[in-house]
Chain A
Amino acid sequence: MAHSDTSASRSAAPEARFALSAAAFEIAPLRAGLLSAQAGAYASFEGWVRDHHGGRAVLGLRYESYAELALSEGEKVLAEARERFAIVDAHCVHRVGDLAIGELAVWVGVSAAHRDAAFAACRYIIDETKARVPIWKHERYADGDADWLHPLPPAAGA
């Protein structure tokens, strides 16, 4: 839920690595949370709200989640990344609620001994989050229309 402090809201478990945030959040404290003497590399991904989609002008959007399942599935994605890649740690925060153009929608941060694992894990986390975590985007278009995005799986669409 929305917190007024500078860090993203966390789920109840102190060891949680995936979080939903109902308010804008600062990246610096999240990055600082990944600092480690073992890490020689840090890679991050930021997803921003852009002003177009499928050739249509977008005015803004809203993210809705099934929070209980989004948090557990997000934690699974991060646990998988730690198993598959030689990383030190990884965190992910996804916004929910109303967002304006240019706002930060999702942040992924990974620390690792070396850059290859950091880049690969970062890519894995954002790809799996987009594919599996129950969060939905509702876009408002300049022509007055608005709609939920329910994309086809990569094999069938995109």
Chain B
Amino acid sequence: MSTLTVLYFASLRDAAGIASESVPADARDLRGLYETLRARHGFALPVERLRVAVDGAFARWDEAPRAGSEVAFIPPVSGG
């Protein structure tokens, strides 16, 4: 099974109860991957309020997940 690593931050990590997990890389795109994980973990934030990063760089939601990559869902930031 080809998998990727998903990183969770802030409220997403609290809701998932984990900081990262390994998931199948079989979603059509990153949007689909988030929707699957949102349903599983009950994330409150809709995809429209997030950004997504792959291997440490911002990515587009219509990109296909790649096996072995590190995907991070970025909730609205609140530094400063």
Q: Which positions in A face B, CB cutoff 8 Å? A: 47, 63-66, 68-70, 72-73, 94, 105-106, 126, 129-138, 147-153
Contacts and interface: CB of A to CB of B under 8 A. Distances in A.
A69 B77 contact: no
Contacts of B58: 69, 73
B57 interface: yes
**Chain A binding site: helix, strand, loop or mixed by DSSP?**
mixed
B72 A69 contact: yes
Interface size class on chain B is 10 to 19
B74 A151 contact: no
Most buried by A among B10, B53, B56: B10
Contacts of B9: 64, 66, 134, 136
A136 B57 contact: no
Most buried by B among A94, A133, A149, A153: A149
B10 A64 contact: yes
Contact of A63 (B14, B53, B79): B79
Contact of B77 (A68, A72, A106, A135): A135
B45 A150 contact: yes
